Structure 1
Amino acid sequence: MLHRFLTSAALVAMAAPAFAQSEASSDMSVSYGPRPAFLASKLPEGELRDTLMACTATPQQTKFSIGHRGAPLMLPEHTVESNVAAAQMGAGILECDVTFTSDKELVCRHAQNDLHTTTNILVTDLAEKCTQGFTPASGDTDASAECRTSDLTLAEFRTLEPKMDAANASATTAEEYQNGTANWRTDLYANDATLMTHAESIALFDSLGADFTPELKAPSVEMPFDGFSQEDYAQKMIDEYKDAGIDPSRVWAQSFNLSDVLYWIENEPEFGAQAVYLDDRYEAEDEDEGLIDPMDASTFKPTMAELKEMGVNYIAPPLWMMVTLNENGEMVPSVYAEEAKAADLDMIAWTLERSGPLASGGGWYFQSVADAVDSDSDYLEILDVLAQDVGVVGVFSDWPATVTYYANCMGL
């Protein structure tokens, strides 16, 4: 258990001896592994397949490739090990989803209330501190639980063991609930993985030569939390980069809450210039709606031009919002993407390789192009459209090697 109490400096030293601390991506030791070439080999005959199969580009780190929670296709998300793997695959930007503990310390978790699916908390003594303890499956009712970082102190959080994000909905015991990993993922690398605070992630990512895209997660608790306001929360995240001496040009702070983005633009303009609005208006027609109440940022449904006028320079919708099918059934940019481009907004896509096997259409992330998706090689097809036609500046991926390979081969 000692490794769970390591300081930031110790985490950096442990992370990977092959990575010398340097901001130069050319110093990184990057390897694609077998997956990108495998996907390329499954592409239909044509220019994209020929280009990728003939690629001899030297593997190197690229900011076009963004590690989504590290490399959670196969490693527990938001762990040291997952992010080291992402860096080894050439991800030039790494993500810490930021939330807080009961003592208001910032930690890396995808949600404030995901500990029951991403850690072993339910089979520890800390289970009694959960907002909702384990309830077994019964009849038509699934097993459930809810455990929040805000239920624990930082010291208690550090004692948890991370695992692949999953739960067994038919479980009748907490032990069974732990075992729900999809059969296209793996638990092979889940043992002895290491949780991180936000400050520790900064030190680690910096040591790997990568830049930063922290996401301020929506609290599950009512704010202010014990006097800790939403503005305090947004400021604390930025302060940890300032305390670490990180140049603002290396940080892309994210939030689904437009108020957070506008706070950074007004109060931390150097960071706000690269703040990313995670647009969750999952209907294309929303782009033509104006402000519902210009005095209340929580009700904004701005047009692309209005976002730009507010000082927003980056937006990041799910990848399916930026593509559609034309009359020939080919993937092409959506009206949403065209409107964003016309407003001079840079776009970032999420999330590639989160859908598992694509034989059945790709699920939520491919819903706008499902009729054209029937093979894992379609990960490369949509990536090509996003890069060449939509013009995104970066792509989040659960397995960054695929995006790195594409970017290196295409000279992005």
Structure 2
Amino acid sequence: MAGCALALAGCSEDDSQDPPPPPPPPKALVVGHRGASALRPEHTLESYRKAVEDGADIIEPDLVSTKDGVLVARHENEISGTTNVSEVAKFADRKVTKTIDGAQLTGWFTEDFTLAELKELRARERIPQIRPANTQYNDQFEIPTLVEIIALAKQLSEQTGRIIPIYPETKHSTYFQSINLPLEERLVAALKADDYTASKATVYIQSFEVANLKALRQRLGTTQSNWKLVQLMEQEALRPYDFTVAGDTRTYADLMTEAGMKEIATYANGVGPYKRSIINVDAEGKFMTPSALVRNAHAVNLTVHPYTFRPENSFMPTPLKVAGPDSTRTPAGLIAELHAYLDAGIDGFFTDDPAVGRQAVDSYVP
């Protein structure tokens, strides 16, 4: 009997115990938007590294193609605002005017450069008026390839002891298909070529277009359980560019409805909406009642990762701004903003400042 008491903590007739408490809900994921782009020039290995050091769960590269078909990380294929290309005399004649997704742009485009040529350029801060401190890093960092980003994620995983997922976005999918540089084929090949992304790390593949995600789902089926497809959504009145090309008059607002979410759930695992589609602000900048977007998404088991949460006055709702110019940082304001969205039930979020995003998640009390 003594042994029974010691082994089972009691062998009495009354074995009733309170059931264990339910596990806490998973914490919202902090996605380092273009890395830690509030603190380093965006889409550089240094920005991604800083994001992980500051507590990001995931790093996010936007992908475009070089002339020789290599995927590199830039927010846009037009790179005059994020590199020193305009000051490199040998590339002066590469300046051209193109129509990208219906908009006419003049500048220098990644698809007109080989990878070797792009590696001669250096990254610069995209919004120096808002992030003047980042200009100290101008011309120090290269444009990274997807392969280099995967290698960095693997290295950071070993250093931190946690798997660092990546969240690549295919930019201007229809455009790159039209010039025979389709992004999706090269993305799948690169992800499968490294065992880290092929089987170990979660990979979220995102796009503002629809047809390419549907094609990826059809191609992949259920063969890559660690890859998740995410339908990005711009403001409600806008349309996916492939809808425009196909003559489909639906807008992102249509995709946010119950019926729209049901369709998305047939090919994707989550949605990435513009944050104001979840909680808008009134004329005074005060938060309004949350929309039905999160509820509609969760009803069909889609995760919700809105964008983009930034720490500077320029991006803050009026009640959360602090005294000072647009470039003034307001971490407390960003935390308050994120807590409102966590209350609305989001599953993660894109932020330019993962350190503050991490504080918001860790301090949040449902």
Q: TM exceeds 0.5?
A: yes
Q: Which residue of 2 aligns with 1:235?
A: 185
Q: Which residue of 1 aligns with 2:166?
A: 212
Q: Which residue of 2 aligns with 1:127?
A: 92
Q: How far 1:283 moved relative to its partner?
A: 4.2
What is the rounded CA distance, in whole Å, between the counterparts of 1:215 and 1:309 in structure 2?
Answer: 19
| The structure with more radius of gyration | 2
What is the rounded CA distance, in whole Å, between the counterparts of 1:305 and 1:119 in structure 2?
Answer: 38
| RCO comparison, higher one (Cα < 8 Å, 6+) | 1
What is the rounded CA distance, in whole Å, between the counterparts of 2:301 and 2:131 in structure 1?
Answer: 41
Alignment counterpart, residue 150 of structure 1, candidates 85, 102, 111: 111
Q: How far 1:182 moved relative to its partner?
A: 3.1
2:145 corresponds to 1:189: no
What is the rounded CA distance, in whole Å, between the counterparts of 1:297 and 1:93 in structure 2?
Answer: 35
What is the rounded CA distance, in whole Å, between the counterparts of 1:190 and 1:64 in structure 2?
Answer: 30
Q: Are the equivalent residues in 1 in contact too, given 2:265–2:301 (CA < 8 A)? A: no
Q: Which residue of 2 aligns with 1:347?
A: 304
Alignment counterpart, residue 217 of structure 2, candidates 265, 272, 278: 265
Counterpart residue identity of residue 206, structure 2: Q
2:330 corresponds to 1:374: no
Q: Which residue of 2 aligns with 1:73?
A: 38
Q: 1:72 to 1:325 in 2, by over 3 A?
A: closer
What is the rounded CA distance, in whole Å, between the counterparts of 1:112 and 1:164 in structure 2?
Answer: 16
What is the rounded CA distance, in whole Å, between the counterparts of 1:277 and 1:298 in structure 2?
Answer: 17
Q: Which residue of 2 aligns with 1:333?
A: 290
What is the rounded CA distance, in whole Å, between the counterparts of 2:39 and 2:318 in structure 1?
Answer: 28
Give runs of aligned pairs for residues 3-152 of structure 1, distance below 5 A: 64-113=29-78, 115-124=79-88, 125-132=90-97, 145-152=106-113
Q: Are the equivalent residues in 2 in contact too, given 1:73–1:185 (CA < 8 A)? A: no
Q: Which residue of 2 aligns with 1:310?
A: 266
Q: Are the equivalent residues in 2 in contact too, given 1:63–1:394 (CA < 8 A)? A: yes
Q: Are the equivalent residues in 1 in contact too, given 2:123–2:138 (CA < 8 A)? A: yes
Deviations 1:215-263 (A, max 9, x none): 00005956332x44x4xx2121122111011227610000001112111
What is the rounded CA distance, in whole Å, between the counterparts of 1:183 and 1:158 in structure 2?
Answer: 24
Q: 1:263 to 1:281 in 2, by over 3 A?
A: farther
Q: How far 1:101 moved relative to its partner?
A: 0.7
Tell me the C-alpha RMSD between the 2 structures: 3.2
Deviations 1:359-385 (A, max 9, x none): xxx3xxx6xxx4644343331122012
Query: Number of paired residues?
Result: 305
Q: Are the equivalent residues in 2 in contact too, given 1:333–1:385 (CA < 8 A)? A: no
Q: 1:321 to 1:184 in 2, by over 3 A?
A: farther
Q: Are the equivalent residues in 2 in contact too, given 1:164–1:181 (CA < 8 A)? A: no
What is the rounded CA distance, in whole Å, between the counterparts of 1:305 and 1:72 in structure 2?
Answer: 30
| TM-score, with structure 2 as normaliser | 0.74
What is the rounded CA distance, in whole Å, between the counterparts of 1:248 and 1:67 in structure 2?
Answer: 20
Q: 1:260 to 1:203 in 2, by over 3 A?
A: same
Structure 1 stretches of 5 or more lacking a match? 1-61, 134-143, 167-179, 287-291
Q: How far 1:197 moved relative to its partner?
A: 0.6
Q: Which residue of 1 aligns with 2:356?
A: 402
Counterpart residue identity of residue 311, structure 1: Y
Q: 1:299 to 1:309 in 2, by over 3 A?
A: farther
Q: 1:183 to 1:400 in 2, by over 3 A?
A: closer
2:341 corresponds to 1:386: yes
Deviations 1:144-170 (A, max 9, x none): 94110011011101100111114xxxx
Counterpart residue identity of residue 240, structure 1: A
Q: Are the equivalent residues in 1 in contact too, given 2:207–2:232 (CA < 8 A)? A: yes
Q: Are the equivalent residues in 1 in contact too, given 2:173–2:209 (CA < 8 A)? A: no
Q: How far 1:82 moved relative to its partner?
A: 0.8
| TM-score, with structure 1 as normaliser | 0.66
Q: Are the equivalent residues in 1 in contact too, given 2:204–2:229 (CA < 8 A)? A: yes
What is the rounded CA distance, in whole Å, between the counterparts of 1:71 and 1:102 in structure 2?
Answer: 28
Equivalent position SS for 2:273: coil
Q: Are the equivalent residues in 2 in contact too, given 1:63–1:93 (CA < 8 A)? A: no
Q: How far 1:307 moved relative to its partner?
A: 2.6
